[in-house]
Amino acid sequence: MCCKARCWWPCWPSWPTSVSTGWPTACRRMSAWSTEAMAWASLPMYPWPQPLTEHYWQWLRQRLQQLGELSLPTHLYWPEDYLAHWREPGVLLSQSCGYPVSALLREQVQVLGAFHYQLPGCADWRYSSALLVRKSDARLALADFHGRRVVCNERHSQSGYHALRAEVATLAGVQPFFAQVRFSGSHRASAALLAAGEADIAALDCVSHALLARQQPQLFEQLACIGHTRLQPGLPLITAASTPAATVARLRQAIGDSLHAVELQAFFREAAIDGFSPLALSDYTCIADTAAHWRAAGMAEW
């Protein structure tokens, strides 16, 4: 990311009330699969270098053509309204977040799988959230932050919001735990507020944490990780619900094949990717189920 000149890094974007994107009305209204509907490919979720990410797509595009998939986007698309983008019937490939896929997009998308990341807090296709505090803070565990201030990126973020709520629930049940909850709009902004002393703790997607720490070492040198949330399904690669089964199979094969391409190793090093697992939507239902469980138990939204 960023969708806006890649200048900030939200794990999850702001949620406008309108899904209008300014794209052609005919494209928005297509419900059946067609050559024209297959218009979009995007990889917007992590702050990978854009030229390397585009190079990855060009390799993937060529491999898909070799496999017989001919109607393909020429270049990656960088959406501003992610939720509207993921709901488009013409999405061939994108990367989303586990909570919206399992709770908000079940009728609009299919899950292709998830990358593996060779980073702290990751294991195969699963990842976790890093619990960050200021280095100057003497508290060493999440339980020590009862009555303190938390900053989250977005309410629909699995890593920045729902994963943290599940951890807090094991400590306090449905009772209030933090004295103040605020929303920053992005993981990068949450880290900045934490460093500035405007919040005491934040949960960041562990992949975002590692990549952002490379990009902004002066900011992240002020912060410390005191632990990770439980492992959860990693950010899913998705395609539209209307994508034919044959195309889904080709996408999974091309993504798997890409891991062995010598010319893509620079991208994989920068992205910290070292594997891929084909997955289904059912692998992500645990995320929505956990959120629904605590909601039904009476845990108020922060």
Q: In this model, does residue 238 exceed pLDDT 70?
A: yes
Per the prediction, the chain carries an average pLDDT of: 90
pLDDT at 38: 52
pLDDT single digits (tens) 127-154 = 999 999 999 999 999 999 999 999 999 9
Three-class secondary structure of residue 86 per DSSP: helix
- Tokens encoding 136: 């100057």
- Tokens encoding 174: 């449905």
Q: In this model, does residue 29 exceed pLDDT 80?
A: no
Tell me how far apart the alpha carbons of residues 275 and 226 are, in angstroms, rounded to a whole number.
Answer: 27
Average pLDDT over residues 205-230: 98
Domains of the chain, by residue range, sit at 25-118+233-290, 129-230
Q: In this model, does residue 232 exceed pLDDT 50?
A: yes
pLDDT at 22: 36
25-118+233-290 falls under which CATH superfamily? Periplasmic binding protein-like II (3.40.190.10)
Phi, psi (rounded to 5 degrees) for 129 = -110, 135
pLDDT single digits (tens) 253-278 = 999 999 999 999 999 999 999 999 99
Q: Which CATH class is domain 129-230?
A: alpha beta
pLDDT at 28: 35
Q: In this model, does residue 35 exceed pLDDT 90?
A: no
Tell me how far apart the alpha carbons of residues 135 and 89 are, in angstroms, rounded to a whole number.
Answer: 46
Tell me how far apart the alpha carbons of residues 130 and 144 are, in angstroms, rounded to a whole number.
Answer: 16
pLDDT at 2: 37
Tell me how far apart the alpha carbons of residues 120 and 122 are, in angstroms, rounded to a whole number.
Answer: 6
Q: What is the pTM of this model?
A: 0.86
The sign one gets for the Cα dihedral 227, 231, 237, 239 is: negative
| Res. 39 pLDDT band, cuts 50 70 90 | confident
* CA 204 from centre of chain: 11
